[in-house]
Chain A
Amino acid sequence: MPAQPQTGQTGPIAGRLSADALAENFADLHPPLSAHEARVAADRCYFCHDAPCVTACPTGIDIPLFIREIQAGRPETAAREIFEANILGGMCARVCPTEVLCEGACVREAAEGRPVEIGLLQRHATDSLMARQGHPFTRAPRTGKRVAVVGAGPAGLACAHRLARHGHDVVIHEGAPKPGGLNEYGIAAYKSVDDFAAREAAWIMGIGGIELRHGQWLGRKVTLDALREEYDAVFLGIGLSGVNALGLDGPDLEGVHDAVTFISALRQSEELSTLPIGREVVVIGGGMTAIDCAVQAKALGAESVTLVYRRARAAMGASGFEQDLAARRGVRLIFEAAPVAVEGEGRLSAVVFERMAEGPDGLAPTGARFTLPADQMFRAVGQRLGDANGLETVQGKVVTQGSGRTAMDKVWAGGDCAAGGDDLTVTAVAQGRDAAEDIHRVLTD
């Protein structure tokens, strides 16, 4: 339970909670299993034939096998099995919506409503191996080929690692000061404690043959044409750098922010007590980012946090677990309402909503309005591709075929920037990995 917020001053202000309360609120969401707990949890796995959990995993990790290896007392052997399929298996163990992926497919979920704790077991295994010095994989002999990877997020890191393993030399061009992409800047702090995203990125690069360059925003510092000129292949894992707008009535007011900016600032903060947070916070949106934003606003000490989503609960992008988490942490969820206007004089004081209803022509306003007092509002209504860099797009994302090939020669793409994904870390990893294999095939053909 989050500590009780201090009632009082309106307006985003810092230090609403004590250091102890903040530490508790931002503690690890799923504390790791002890060795004994892991053995007991592993024993629940039935080692299914052609297991549904494996089918449900976008990276196809051999889950029954790695769980059996934990059960047999070899968590590090299990980790190798995981990393072979998914080099970001450590982060995926923390952030995957397992209840809609592997654990949702677990036969024990169907049988008892209590699946094998695959996420926690994967974390147990990967933590065990990552705690050791060194890197578990070695590079093949150098091929002399050079590949540019743009973006050091999950797709880029997975791609770079696989290419390096095959002996290619990789240069990652990253705009931000740190690698990790959304793992570093875009997810809730309680899902990646102890600087895990940065540690994982460093560990991945431990394979060697990967050079990481910062400040390399595509289209500004480097261009796609130049990269194609200089390298044998280019992989774009540039994510979605743009933020969707809301288009509300009312003046520009202080206290209105993008959720991604808030989360990024929170993740990079050395001292959470210095972060300003409102007393009455409103979050607009229904995806994982909206939940991460709302829960963390509450955790920073907002007195009330209300998440408003324009559609019904069932349409929410955030998983059932995430919805429950928000409710448990004291976030109020309002469905089928859309913001229409902001109010305030210089600073936000309220947000006006209109009730929505699903009709024959889709979602439509009903005319009924209500107002929520708010001194801070976060927009979390989706992100979009920034500059397409001359690539063909569909629904705002780069068109790819097969294993991430774009229509442009020598250029592959994967992760959130590519069409056809579902904006999950684990999907981005799979796409980065598969593109690397395809690039490898082309370069060594």
Chain B
Amino acid sequence: MADLTTRFLGIESPNPFWLASAPPTDKEYNVRRAFEAGWGGVVWKTLGAEGPPVVNVNGPRYGVVHGPDRRVLGLNNIELITDRDLKTNLEEMARVKADYPDRALIASIMVPCEEAAWKAILPRVAETGADGIELNFGCPHGMSERGMGSAVGQVPDYIEMVARWCKQHYDRPVIVKLTPNITDIRKPAEAARRGGADAVSLINTINSITAVDLDRMAPEPTIDGKGSHGGYCGPAVKPIALSMVSEIARNPETHGLPISGIGGITTWRDAAEFMVLGAGNVQVCTAAMTYGFRIIEELCAGLSDWMDEKGYRSTADFVGQAVPNVTDWKNLNLNYVAKARIDQELCIKCGRCYAACEDTSHQAIAMTPDRVFEVIDAECVACNLCVDVCPVENCIEMVQMEAGRVDPRTGRVVSPDHADWTTHPNNPMAQAAE
């Protein structure tokens, strides 16, 4: 059993799985149960400034996108930050941290974009013994209308400014949580680093409407006939989050900046994928909200088994391992040639590959009257669509053509050398080969 102990910003937790700032970490009762279940840490649900707390709607807060058999593929929410008063939250945090010193406890904070507001809350958070803070610059609904959350996260200058205040008035790690509702995720990450932040966490939720009620002509979730966009999360957002994490990991301006990966992590494999793309640890929410805290057992067991299988002794061994293989399109090897191969033993003759290729791609699959499907190498561009739509695992694979053979599609000999767009004759900007 591999050791899952993870140090992130010097904060040690027994495993890399933290619960993200969200309803599961709203109060002492939940967090104690999460720790009993085995979670490595929590980011406490976002605290607001002293004074009357925010209020939530009294109708549906969540919308959903279901897969077959009502599997939750995506969830969105219009819930605001904590609606309990600051003092209660701080007292509970202090008690919980005292009882679970080996677990990470991070305070998520969202107060107005004024130095005084941050200066007022930070010492009180520090008193709880929390291991660090996470600045909620991500919530895309409700709070953003009041100039907080993603309204800050969309302006790199504000991120830098607030991060700097926090580093001035607080002496423990500062994590900036980023909104994905922006065109280039590298900009806010760079701003966080300039402001002195110790890490970024991402992604927060994505602006979304999960469905429209076609009878009431209203978006869901619907409150008294009206709806507001919510923040989308869950398995559906994982690909977007993975890409954004990798962008920050490989950007020279932010390379080496610790990342806490968030976005649709449901199984150990999702977590491993975030971590090899540069996340030092991960945060989970929707999976816990769908299945309960007990999923931590699968997350830990799966990751540990995989590490044993691969010979990794600590999570640090594999963090960032895939980052060097994330590159720009222009660097992809255009001399690499592959062709689809259909395993006739495994083929169940559904014809989905044929329909997809014939109707929407390259007419590179032939069908005989007795439903045998064969690839036409002279047409196949190895686009992978047939592999993607085939219902049978491993039935179709992309096989690389050996160098020296002739690609029947182009009539050219497959070259063993790397050649990409940067040097391609069709590229008007091609750099002359040295």
Contact surface of A with B, Cβ cutoff 8 Å: 36, 39-40, 43, 46-52, 107-108, 110-111
The reply to whether B349 and A39 contact each other, CB–CB distance below 8 Å, is: no
The reply to whether A46 and B69 contact each other, CB–CB distance below 8 Å, is: no
Q: Which of B217-225, B243-251, B351-359 binds A?
A: B351-359
The reply to whether A108 and B348 contact each other, CB–CB distance below 8 Å, is: yes
The reply to whether A49 and B68 contact each other, CB–CB distance below 8 Å, is: no
The reply to whether B352 and A47 contact each other, CB–CB distance below 8 Å, is: yes
Contact of A39 among B68, B351, B355 (CB under 8 A): B68
Contact of B351 among A40, A48, A111 (CB under 8 A): A48
Q: Which of B316-364 contact A (CB under 8 A)?
A: 348-352, 354-355
Contact surface of B with A, Cβ cutoff 8 Å: 68-70, 348-352, 354-355, 367, 371, 391-392
Residue of chain A at shortest CB distance from B66: A39
The reply to whether B68 and A48 contact each other, CB–CB distance below 8 Å, is: no
CB distance from B120 to the nearest CB of A (A): 52
Residue of chain B at shortest CB distance from A108: B348
How many residue pairs at the A-B interface have CB separations less than 8 Å? 35
- Decide yes or no: A107 and B68 within 8 Å by CB, A46-B391, A49-B355, A52-B371 being known contacts: no
Which of B350, B351, B354, B391 is most buried by chain A, counting CB atoms within 10 A of its CB?
B350
Q: Which 3 A-B pairs have the closest CB atoms?
A: A49-B351, A43-B68, A49-B355
- Decide yes or no: A111 and B348 within 8 Å by CB, A40-B68, A40-B69, A52-B371 being known contacts: yes
In the complex, A48 Cα to B355 Cα: how many Å? 8
In the complex, A111 Cα to B367 Cα: how many Å? 19
Residue of chain B at shortest CB distance from A109: B348
In the complex, A111 Cα to B346 Cα: how many Å? 8
- Beyond A40-B68, A50-B371, 17 additional pairs, beta carbon < 8 A: A36-B70, A39-B69, A46-B350, A46-B352, A46-B391, A48-B351, A48-B352, A49-B352, A49-B355, A49-B367, A51-B351, A52-B349, A107-B348, A107-B349, A108-B348, A110-B349, A111-B348
> What residues of A have a CB within 8 angstroms of the CB of B391 in the complex?
46
> What residues of A have a CB within 8 angstroms of the CB of B351 in the complex?
48-51
Which of A43, A52, A111 is most buried by chain B, counting CB atoms within 10 A of its CB?
A111
> What residues of A have a CB within 8 angstroms of the CB of B69 in the complex?
39-40, 43
Which of A39, A46, A108, A110 is most buried by chain B, counting CB atoms within 10 A of its CB?
A46
Residue of chain A at shortest CB distance from B352: A46
> What residues of A have a CB within 8 angstroms of the CB of B371 in the complex?
50, 52
Report 21 cross-chain contacts, Cβ distance below 8 Å, ordered by A residue.
A36-B70, A40-B68, A40-B69, A43-B69, A46-B352, A46-B391, A48-B349, A48-B350, A48-B351, A48-B352, A49-B350, A49-B352, A49-B367, A50-B351, A50-B367, A50-B371, A52-B349, A107-B350, A108-B348, A110-B348, A110-B349
Residue of chain B at shortest CB distance from A111: B348
In the complex, A110 Cα to B352 Cα: how many Å? 16
CB distance from A60 to the nearest CB of B (A): 17
In the complex, A89 Cα to B354 Cα: how many Å? 30
In the complex, A46 Cα to B391 Cα: how many Å? 8
In the complex, A110 Cα to B351 Cα: how many Å? 14
The reply to whether B392 and A111 contact each other, CB–CB distance below 8 Å, is: yes
Residue of chain A at shortest CB distance from B373: A49
> What residues of A have a CB within 8 angstroms of the CB of B70 in the complex?
36
> What residues of A have a CB within 8 angstroms of the CB of B349 in the complex?
48, 52, 107, 110
Residue of chain A at shortest CB distance from B68: A43
CB distance from A65 to the nearest CB of B (A): 13
Residue of chain A at shortest CB distance from B390: A46
> What residues of B have a CB within 8 angstroms of the CB of A47 in the complex?
352
> What residues of B have a CB within 8 angstroms of the CB of A36 in the complex?
70
> What residues of B have a CB within 8 angstroms of the CB of A52 in the complex?
349, 371
In the complex, A47 Cα to B349 Cα: how many Å? 12
> What residues of B have a CB within 8 angstroms of the CB of A43 in the complex?
68-69
> What residues of B have a CB within 8 angstroms of the CB of A108 in the complex?
348
CB distance from B372 to the nearest CB of A (A): 13
In the complex, A36 Cα to B69 Cα: how many Å? 8
CB distance from B415 to the nearest CB of A (A): 36
CB distance from A116 to the nearest CB of B (A): 11
Residue of chain A at shortest CB distance from B353: A49
In the complex, A47 Cα to B352 Cα: how many Å? 8
> What residues of B have a CB within 8 angstroms of the CB of A111 in the complex?
348, 392
In the complex, A51 Cα to B367 Cα: how many Å? 13
CB distance from A283 to the nearest CB of B (A): 39
> What residues of B have a CB within 8 angstroms of the CB of A51 in the complex?
351
> What residues of A have a CB within 8 angstroms of the CB of B68 in the complex?
39-40, 43
Which of A40, A47, A49 is most buried by chain B, counting CB atoms within 10 A of its CB?
A49
In the complex, A191 Cα to B68 Cα: how many Å? 30
In the complex, A107 Cα to B350 Cα: how many Å? 6
CB distance from A73 to the nearest CB of B (A): 11
Residue of chain A at shortest CB distance from B349: A107
In the complex, A43 Cα to B355 Cα: how many Å? 18
CB distance from B244 to the nearest CB of A (A): 31
In the complex, A210 Cα to B348 Cα: how many Å? 45
In the complex, A50 Cα to B367 Cα: how many Å? 10
CB distance from A268 to the nearest CB of B (A): 42
In the complex, A111 Cα to B392 Cα: how many Å? 9
In the complex, A36 Cα to B66 Cα: how many Å? 12
In the complex, A335 Cα to B297 Cα: how many Å? 56
> What residues of A have a CB within 8 angstroms of the CB of B392 in the complex?
111
> What residues of A have a CB within 8 angstroms of the CB of B350 in the complex?
46, 48-49, 107
